[in-house]
Structures are given as structure tokens and as C-alpha cells.
Structure 1
Amino acid sequence: MPASQKPKVTLWEFFQSLGKTFMLPVALLSFCGIMLGIGSSLSSRDVISLLPFLGHPACQLLFTWMSKVGSFAFSFLPVMFAIAIPLGMARDNKGVAAFSGFVGFAVLNLATNFYLTASGVLPSSDPLVLKAHNIQNVLGIQSIDTGILGAVLVGIIVYLLHERFNTIRLPDALAFFGGTRFVPIITTLTLGVCGLVVPLIWPWFAAGINGLGWVINGAGAFGPMIFGSGERLLLPFGLHHILVALIRFTDAGGTLDVCGHSVSGALTIFQAQLSCPTTHGFAESATRFLSQGKMPAFLGGLPGAALAMYHCAKPENRHKIKGLLISGVVACVVGGTTEPIEFLFLFVAPFLYLIHAILTGLGFTVMALLGVTIGNTDGNIIDFVVFGILHGTATKWYLVPLVAAIWFAAYYAIFRFAILRFNIKTPGRDSDNAGSAAHASSGTVGQSGYNVPAILSALGGAGNIVSLDNCITRLRLSVADISKVDDAALKENRAIGVVRLNAHGLQVVIGPQVQSVKDELDSLIAASRPAAELSGATHV
């Protein structure tokens, strides 16, 4: 499909695509957080006194190395977002878009530094002056710390510039600077001007974020519940990353002085405390928005819902759905990926999903009221061990199994009653299509374990695919003719759910192996299309 005929990107699709790009830096942040958590916990005095052999110099060097490497993502988080957003959103020439993202972020801060210097604010080492203007070292540049929000704005601007100018044709005398080479050039000029405006408008942005933080924190014990339930309710639409990023990385998630530096955002506060040698324990104001809040639903509730669905299935169908439910529970408990279970009941019983969202939010509030202080992002068993158990009883990790057991029983009772009372067609309840999601149709099964040719056919074939991408569990597509998409055939080939966003936008919920499915789809599309058509029709 020629580029000129591509359907326009709606505001809804734009924010979905934007939220998806957050996952690249967040995934690295999660891994680095585990490195930092293990390194800092195993080098603590409490753990060494309990396990003296860990005090060996070789062990301590290893743990110190882990802490240093793990602190990388925290130290350079804004620039990672500035690079990841144009990288993820650009249709073509993604490397140029990523490079321009770094250029734009650096130039913005250099231009801001110029303005502050010209206005007499800099150079200065007076901590009162620096704090009054929110000035910190950003990539070695004294500039206004715009944090993640500033980096997101840079990323969006660079993406828009890239889409507009990456194919520009200049006069012959200037042709060398045309095409993709023009993108970092126009980025330098545009962000150079934006940097001059930042000192004038940023206080208004900061006031808005502080206002959001005031609303959430002003809700007291219900603040975490608003966040937890809101995240679940936004998840089916792919917009939950926006809310999560606001709480994790901006003033909306709180501000705290850690090791002499002012740190904003629940997750950045937690990781700053992890890497600060003089900090003992974690701030409850930050961890109440983090992993601990998810644990009641992730470690207890959703496994209880899965067991209820298994027991409510027809006896002759239980063996067909067992693998589907077990893999969903493993993905949830070990990986913190909930969609493989959630999408089994989201579409057939939305009211159950609403109850699930409320109970998830309630889990956030309960853990906060109990004073549990377990951080990081995923709410899985790894976070429970690394950031709970390994950091000692001060985290109150021992309360997690108790609360999770209560949530397990509550979910099991609610789901079993609702499924039987209202005859909800969860997997294994329908004789005609029982287990269709658990077994692939006959055909070629690739490394992903899915019959990808059949999935492509169900999507209307390669010629129907305008754009293709993926997030953690879903294929995100734009199709030329959505009427050609066969939802039933997709589900017969193990798709957990199909979300039709508009006349062209589509999401297919696959599960943890979505990246492999997407890669195989890319290969099939590339093999079935002329190179010229492919370059104008698909982006990865």
C-alpha cells in the first residue's frame, strides 16, 4: 500500500504508539533495578552478619559491580526516553530517528544553559540558586532538569520532524544534506530554539505535574488505589503506560531528597535509595505505587481466577485448557505479565475485569496501609525475593504471602460464582470451540510455537498489513481493510483476544511470545511483497 494512501494516525493511536515506546527503557530499567537490588542487598551489613561468607572481598567486588552497572539506567533515564520514543514511533530509518533523539536532547539542554548563562543565572554553584531554578547536571550540562516529561517532549518533537523531513529533497547544491541527513540538522535548529523557551514555560509544566501529584497524594490511602485501578482500566486500550510513566518518573509520584539530590517519581526515588549507601530502608511514599501493590493480584488473585476458570470448564475440556491457564499463571507470577489471563475473561465478562481492576487497586492500598516497602516495577516473584526478602524484615515482605492468599480466595470465590451463575463462556465452557485458544490449527508451526502463516491469513494476508509492531504481549497493527480480519480464525490459532480500535487499528493479544510471532510475520510479509511496496507499507 503506497505511503500516500496510509490511513492517518488518530490521536488514540498516537498515544498508544507513544506508550508502547516507553517499554524499551522501562524493560532495561527493570533489569537494572534487579541488578542494583541484588548488589545493594547482598552487600548490606545485615545480610553479611547473617551470611558471613558474603563478606569475602571477591563477593563484595561482584556485588559492588552489580550495583554500579544497575545504576546506569537510573542515571541516564531521560536521555534513554528521548532516544527510545523516536526509535519506536518512526516508520522508516529508525536508526536516524534514534540518533536525532540524542542530538535533540543534548541540544535542548545546551540551549537552556545558554539562556541561563545569558540571563545571569549561570555560572553558579550556590545550592539555593540551583534549587530555585531546578538546575542540575544533565549529560554534564548545567540545565533545568525537565526529567522524563522533558525527554518525552523531545522524543515526540524529533519523531514529528523525522516523519516530515526524512525523505526531503534539497537543491543539487545542497543535496548532500538532504534525506535522512537533514533530520538531525533540523532537529538541532528546532530543539535549539525550544531550549531557549524552556526556562520561560517549564515552571507551568512543573506546576501542572505538581498539581496532579497533589490530587493523588491528597487522596491519602486511596491514592494508590486510584493509580492501581486506573492502570488496569487503561490496560485494554494500551494507554496504561502514560499513567505509569507519570507516577514513576515525574513529581506526580512524589519528590524526595536522596543522598543530597532532589529526586522525583516513585521509581526513581526507590532506585536512588537503592544506590545511596547512607539510606536505610525505602520511602513508603514511593513504594506504595510500585511492585508491592501489584503482588496481591499478581501472586494471589489472578492464579485464583485461573483455578476458578479451570474448575468451571467442562470436565472433558479441562485437559485442553490446562496448558493455556498454566502458562498464563507462570507469565503472571514469574514475569509479571498479566494479559494472558486477563484477556481470557475481559471480553466475555467485562464486569469481572472491572472487579479485577478494583481489587488490584485495593491491593495497592492495603499494602500501603500495612507499611510494606517493596519496590521495582513488575510485582512478580522475582521482585518479591530481590526487593523484599533479600532486604530483610524491614520491608515487611512476610505480609505478602498472607495478603496474596486472601486475594487468591477472594478471586476464586468471585470468579467461580460469576462464571456459574451467569454462564460466562470462559475457556472450556463452550463445547463447540473449547480449547481453541489452547491449541493451534494444523499447519506450519515456527520457532514461536504458533502457526504464523495461518495468523497472517486471518489478518487478511500480507497485502492487508499497513503497519506492524508489538508491545509486551500484543501485536499492534494498522490494516487496509479491517473487514478482512477473521477474529475467530485468530483465536483458533491461539490468539487470546482481538481488539478493534477503529476502521484500521487492530491489536491481537498473543502473550509472552509475541516478539517471536511478530518477527515471523515480518519474514512472511517480506517474502510475499516486492521490496518497493514493503518499504512504503510496513514499519518495524
Structure 2
Amino acid sequence: MKSIFSVLQKIGRAFMLPIAILPMAGILLGVGGAFTNPTLIQTYQLNFLAEGTIMNKILILCSTVGSLVFANLPLLFAVGIAIGLANINKETAALSAVLGFLIFHTVINLILKFMGITPDVVSVDYLMQAGKSVAEAQGIKASYASELGIFTLQTGVFGGIICGMVSAYVTNKFSNVALPDYLAFFSGNRLVPVITILIFIPIGAIFPFFWPAVFRTIVKAGEAFSAMGYPGTFLYGFSMRLLNVFGLHHAIYPLFWYTPLGGVMEVGGKMVEGGQNIFFAQLADTTVKHFSANATKTMTGGFLPMMFGLPAAALAMYKTADFKNKKIIKGILVSAALTSFLTGITEPIEFTFLFVAPPLYLIHAILEGLSYMLMQMLDVAVGITFSRGLIDFTFFGLLQGMSKTSYQWILILGPIYAVVYYYVFKFMIIKFNYATPGREGAENKLYTKKDYQEKAGEDKLLTDIVESLGGIDNIQNIDACITRLRVSVKDETKVSDDNRWKELNAKGVIRSGKGIQVIYGTQAEIYKNKIRKKYNI
């Protein structure tokens, strides 16, 4: 189990790099789509945005650039995952991923030609003339796609993930190989592209013989998830919140956002797979009347707990704190609440109560699952790029309008969710005397970054973090997601206990074998970069 946790943690960490590109692309697409909408321009008489104006052309440019990113996600995932999983020579892994991706799809294209499969013979019209029904024809056509102008199998992001993983493996395995003198030129990094070519030729050659069956199985799994209806959506939201404790949600949700597990839909004459991909394809299509709530069902449900619920929970913790401590914890809780409300980053507030009051986290997960289900039931379709805070709500809800998103339900149910969170948390904290921040006997007293820097200085903090991980020699790899340092260590017994991490201002620690996650909120990425620079990792 611990080895599985370690693998999933590493995969989730690798996913974060390509996913980090999407917020800016989504904002460009959202702004471009909203302010080139003829209805919005006409309703508010925004004539300076009308078709043909300079501003209109700039906005179309923004929308086009955003669409470009989403259209090339498989390649971006290939490169991002190769960099994320490579332990050494990450730039070589990136080059290997691009090379492997091109070879992979070129070889698939050639094998399909040998099999007599071309774009013409998989068109809906051709297949219907051959006796297929409309549904059968569309299903067959959906099995094929174009990647960088290459006709190939519809491997989508899965194909990118495979290319990235193989490229990282090749880089880790062959970067330091020394060949005999007469082949010395091809030693080390130069050997990686050679092996990449040799490996991806057979991989691409065998794919057409088994991938169509795999693709159909994935589509069936996505259909089965949809067939579960509202209970399935509840289970998804509930499970993702529980997995968030271990940082494993990053390894799961991309499969629903970018692959057929999240649905397959025709948008603008093209088959699009994955919930987030469908949303942004519809965002770029001006003919869409209302975005698909089925596509966004793995996204929209987080707005209620993140924008309204958790800030109310922070208020409950403040109200139940001892009077003498309220001034101390006020800044901490306000900062955590604002972070959740504005950006949808929840760890800073969740980990203030998770370890001292696990039942509160379970209730939080249940309420989040209910929110996901409610949003789908009410046909709310507000997509996201980064997280479910005010920023994404503005770009992909407010600016797109009620008619396309039904965002009004978030504003209607949000205050109700806030009341529920507040009174449930307040009741539970008082009833069971949970040692939440500011209460007598609380061991998880938090300090702001400023407080600690004044006490010890940031350089000492970085040194202490490394020493608490067992020293630099005990660290195999150190990385970070949005809120956590993700570390692989050689000997987990050398890692300091939780009390030491609390002294170092950590919100919590997750341990599973040699995989260690230290929650530092939004400072995690900064600490990771500074530690790498300080110790030349």
C-alpha cells in the first residue's frame, strides 16, 4: 500500500506541471469568449467591443491563444509529465517527450494507412453509407483524431501521459550510461534520444492493434459513471475531498477532466473528451446556448464549500476560541478564509482542524459531495481552471451569464452553505471540545510566516526543514504542488515527529513509507525552490 501511495504521489506531482499552464489559458479563453459575445455587447451597448473593432480583434486573439493550449493538451502533458517524473536531466526528458510524441503518432499514422484506415473512411458520412447507424458511425469516428496535423488514434491525454512516462524512464535509465570509446559520442544525454526513437517505434506500431478496444472500455467506464447519476456525482465529490488529505486527488481528477472518463461530446463538429476540455470547447463555440452540466459535474460542486462553507467554518473556529487567544488567531483564520474564498485553495484552513478534529473533515467531505450533486441537479455549469474560488467564478460564471451557466444557484445556495458550516462546526467544536486554534489545550497553534521569520529568519527555516527531513543526504527528491512539499526520503525514520513540524509552522504532515508531504500552504512552492537552490538539488 505504501509503495502504491508513493507512486500515486509522484504521478500526482507530475500532473501539476502541465495543469499549471491551464489557468492563464482558461482566463484568456473566458475573457475572449465573454466579451466577444454579441448578446453581451448589444445588451450593455459595448460598441467599442463590436465585431471589427481593435478591441474585438485583441479579444479574439486572446480566445484563440487559450483554445490553442487546450487543443494541444496531449503534447503538454507528455512534456510536463516527463519533466515531473525525471529524477535527473529534466531538459533531456522534455526533448525526449516531444520526440517520442511525434514518433508515436507518426508510426500510428503509418500503421493505420497499412490497415487501410484514413480520415475519409472513418468519416460519419462514409460509415453511414457503409450501413452503420448514426451512433455507430459517430462512435467509430471518435476513435480517431489529429495530433499536430497527424491523423492518428484518439489517445488524447492518455497518449501524452504514456509518452511522458516512457520518456522519463528512458532519461532516468540511460542519461548516465557510458558507452565504449568508439561510441562515446552517444554516451549520457545523447543516448536518450537514440533510445527514445528505438523504443517509440514499436510502441507506436502495436498501439493500433489494442488501443481501440482500450478506448471503448474507457468510454464505457465514463458512461457507467454517468449512468450512476446524482449518487455517482456525490461519490466523486466526497472521494476527492478525502483523497485530498493524502494529496492523491491530483492523480485522479485529471482523468475525468481530460479523458473519456469525464465524457465524450461533439462540440463545433469535433469530438471532445474530458469534462474540462468539453467546457472550454463550448466556451469557444458561440453557438452553445447552455454549457453542459454533465461535463462540469466534476468541477462545479466545489464552489459552495470553498467560497462559502470553509470561510464560515473559520468564523466558527474564531467564535469558539478562548477570548485571550482570539487576537492571536484572528489574522491566521482571516487569511485562510480569504485564500479559500478568492482562490479556492483550501489546505491552509482544512489542516487547521483536520488532525485535531477528523470528524469535522468527514462532515466537510459529505457536504462537498452534496454540493457536487446539487450543482448537477440544478444544471449549474461553471467550469474552472485552477480552483473553485471567486476568481474562477467570475471568469467562468459571472462573465458568461446566467443563461449559459445557471450560476445564480451558487449565489442562492452559498449563504445557506455558510450557515450550515458555521453552526455544524460551532456545535461540534463545543460539544466535543475539539482543540481547534485558539482553544485551551490546542496543540496545533499556528504562526504566520511573518511571525516565524521575525523569530528565526527564513534561511534558518529552510535549514530546519531539511534537517527535519533527516538531512540533505536523506532526501532523494523534493518537489511541491500548490500547498505541499512532496518529498521522497531514503529513511523515513529520520524524519522528525509532528511536534517538530508544528514548530516549523507546518499545517500538517502526511507520511506513507518513504513518501512525506509537509503542508505549508501557498509557500510550499517557494520553499521547494529555495531549498533546491540552497542545496544545489
TM-score calculated relative to the size of structure 1: 0.91
- Match of residue 133 from structure 2: none
Structure 2: runs of 5 or more not aligned: 128-136
- Match of residue 43 from structure 1: 36
Matching of residue 274 in structure 1 with residue 268 in structure 2:
no
Does the 8 Å contact 1:19/1:239 carry over to 2? yes
CA–CA distance in 1 between the matches of 2:267 and 2:248?
Answer: 31
Identical positions, percent: 37
Deviation at 1:233, TM superposition (A): 1.3
Q: How does 1:436-451 map to 2 (within 5 A)?
A: 436-438=446-448, 439-440=451-452, 443-446=455-458, 451=461
Structure 1: runs of 5 or more not aligned: 1-8, 527-537
Does the 8 Å contact 2:17/2:81 carry over to 1? no
- Match of residue 130 from structure 2: none
CA–CA distance in 1 between the matches of 2:534 and 2:75?
Answer: 35
- Match of residue 312 from structure 1: 320
CA–CA distance in 1 between the matches of 2:356 and 2:428?
Answer: 12
Does the 8 Å contact 2:293/2:381 carry over to 1? yes
- Match of residue 6 from structure 1: none
- Match of residue 21 from structure 2: 28
Deviation at 1:354, TM superposition (A): 1.5
Q: Which moved more, 1:251-260 or 1:198-207?
A: 198-207
**Partner of 2:516: helix, strand, or coil?**
strand
**Partner of 1:435: helix, strand, or coil?**
coil
Matching of residue 84 in structure 1 with residue 96 in structure 2:
no
Q: How does 1:501-520 map to 2 (within 5 A)?
A: 501-502=512-513, 504-520=514-530
Q: Which moved more, 1:121-130 or 1:101-110?
A: 121-130
Does the 8 Å contact 2:461/2:504 carry over to 1? yes
CA–CA distance in 1 between the matches of 2:230 and 2:123?
Answer: 34
Does the 8 Å contact 2:353/2:436 carry over to 1? yes
The one-letter code matched in structure 1 to 2:473 is G
CA–CA distance in 2 between the matches of 1:525 and 1:92?
Answer: 15
CA–CA distance in 2 between the matches of 1:408 and 1:329?
Answer: 12
- Match of residue 182 from structure 1: 191
- Match of residue 533 from structure 1: none
Does the 8 Å contact 2:435/2:443 carry over to 1? no
Does the 8 Å contact 1:444/1:453 carry over to 2? no
Does the 8 Å contact 1:331/1:512 carry over to 2? no
- Number of residue pairs the alignment of both structures matches: 515
Does the 8 Å contact 1:495/1:509 carry over to 2? yes
- Match of residue 250 from structure 2: 241
The partner residue of 1:495 within 489, 503, 506 is 506
In structure 2, relative to structure 1, the CA distance for the partners of 1:360 and 1:434 (3 Å cut) is closer
Deviation at 1:58, TM superposition (A): 2.0
TM-score calculated relative to the size of structure 2: 0.91
In structure 2, relative to structure 1, the CA distance for the partners of 1:123 and 1:391 (3 Å cut) is closer
The partner residue of 1:258 within 227, 249, 267 is 267
**Partner of 1:105: helix, strand, or coil?**
helix
Does the 8 Å contact 1:97/1:158 carry over to 2? yes
CA–CA distance in 2 between the matches of 1:467 and 1:114?
Answer: 40
CA–CA distance in 2 between the matches of 1:432 and 1:457?
Answer: 26
CA–CA distance in 1 between the matches of 2:490 and 2:70?
Answer: 41
Q: Which moved more, 1:335-344 or 1:52-61?
A: 52-61
**Partner of 1:169: helix, strand, or coil?**
coil
Does the 8 Å contact 2:307/2:389 carry over to 1? yes
- Match of residue 157 from structure 2: 148
Kindly provide the CA deviation profile for residues 475-510 of structure 1, in whole angstroms up to 9, marking residues without a partner as x.
Answer: 0112334333332222122110011111x3211000
Kindly provide the CA deviation profile for residues 292-326 of structure 1, in whole angstroms up to 9, marking residues without a partner as x.
Answer: 21111111111111111111221111222222212
What is the Cα-based RMSD across aligned positions, in Å? 2.0
Deviation at 1:397, TM superposition (A): 1.7
Does the 8 Å contact 1:317/1:435 carry over to 2? no
**Partner of 2:19: helix, strand, or coil?**
helix
Matching of residue 426 in structure 1 with residue 436 in structure 2:
yes
The partner residue of 2:294 within 285, 292, 296 is 285
Deviation at 1:166, TM superposition (A): 1.2
Q: How does 1:356-367 map to 2 (within 5 A)?
A: 356-367=364-375
Deviation at 1:164, TM superposition (A): 1.3
Q: How does 1:105-116 map to 2 (within 5 A)?
A: 105-116=101-112
